[in-house]
Amino acid sequence: MRCISVPILALVLAACQQQEPVPATTATPAPAPLAVLPSAVPPSTSRDPQDVLFAWAKAVSVKDWATAYGYWGDHGAASGMTLDQFKASWGKLVQPDLEIGKGQLEGAAGSSFYSVPVTIIDGQRRIPGEVVLRRSNDVPGADAEQLRWHIESTTLKP
């Protein structure tokens, strides 16, 4: 099982983005390349469900509840909660860190599903569960919301 610790990953990648001091010259230095996080890919355009899962995990780890809510289908409504209810439920987490296991991609009539074991570690508390992402396959008439990878369901109970 491959585990990702989102806060540590963010710190490592942030450290990679630090620029070295540039000696004074008359030439203008080229800008330093920036590392691109998988989570930097907007969920509406990513064709990789793992990118969307990592972006959601990053939002949870920094307690950005509005963003985490938006990764659910119907821009959050598929969570079965309003944004305020979502914030109240997930906001109980103090210092969430996430371990993400290996996902499994499956197809069904007109849709693809990506199921992943996820454990939220919040201090001494460990909350194991599964996150299922879904997107409609490229079928005629599917709109952008149906075509984006989004959270369909989870067994995580914060």
User: Domain 6-13+45-154 belongs to what architecture?
Assistant: Roll (3.10)
The mean pLDDT of the chain is 79
- Domain segments of the chain: what residues? 6-13+45-154
Q: Which of 23-27, 32-36, 48-52, 97-101 has the highest mean pLDDT?
A: 97-101
pLDDT (0 to 100) of residue 75: 87
The pLDDT tens digits of the residues spanning 140-152 come to 888 888 889 999 9
Model confidence pLDDT, tens digit, residues 88-132: 999 999 999 999 999 999 998 899 999 999 999 999 999 999 999
Percent of the chain with pLDDT over 90: 61
Q: Specify the pLDDT at position 45.
A: 62
Cβ within 8 Å of residue 100, ≥6 positions away: 2, 3, 4, 53, 54, 57, 116, 117, 118
Assigned token pair, 92: 């109980």
* Global model pTM greater than 0.85: no
